[in-house]
């Protein structure tokens, strides 16, 4: 399964950007989007180091809510396996 990670743009440098999610910062490529349609503070979906879609803050929050549930379920399952 391929997953895109929602991140917020912190800085734009031409066709690259510094983005953040959950306290983690990454340099990403904007080559698949029009950088002129993006601004600091926007949310984008990152896949394999490339921003592939601009999304709303609400959609980013919804995605992270689902990811947090998945991570919690995985942690619970891992804890049960260790018993």
Instruction: Give the span between the Cα atoms of 28 and 53, in whole angstroms.
Output: 12
Query: What domains can be seen in the chain, in order of their start residue?
Result: 5-81 (2.30.30.140)
Whether 35 shows a pLDDT value over 90: the answer reads no
Question: Cβ distance 30 to 51 under 8 Å?
Answer: yes
Q: What are the pLDDT digits (tens) for 38-78?
A: 999 999 999 999 999 999 999 999 999 998 898 888 888 77
Whether 82 shows a pLDDT value over 80: the answer reads no
Whether 11 shows a pLDDT value over 90: the answer reads yes
Instruction: Give the span between the Cα atoms of 75 and 2, in whole angstroms.
Output: 20
The strand pair at 5-13 and 43-47 is best described as antiparallel
Q: What is the per-residue pLDDT for 17?
A: 98
pTM here is 0.85
């Amino acid at each position: 399964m391929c997953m895109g990670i929602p991140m917020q743009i912190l800085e734009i440098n031409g066709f690259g950007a510094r983005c953040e999610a959950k306290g983690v910062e990454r340099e990403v490529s904007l080559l698949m989007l029009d950088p002129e349609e993006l601004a600091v503070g926007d949310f984008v979906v990152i896949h394999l180091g490339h921003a592939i879609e601009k999304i709303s803050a609400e959609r980013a929050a919804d995605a992270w809510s689902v990811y947090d549930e998945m991570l919690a379920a995985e942690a619970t399952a891992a804890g049960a396996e260790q018993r």
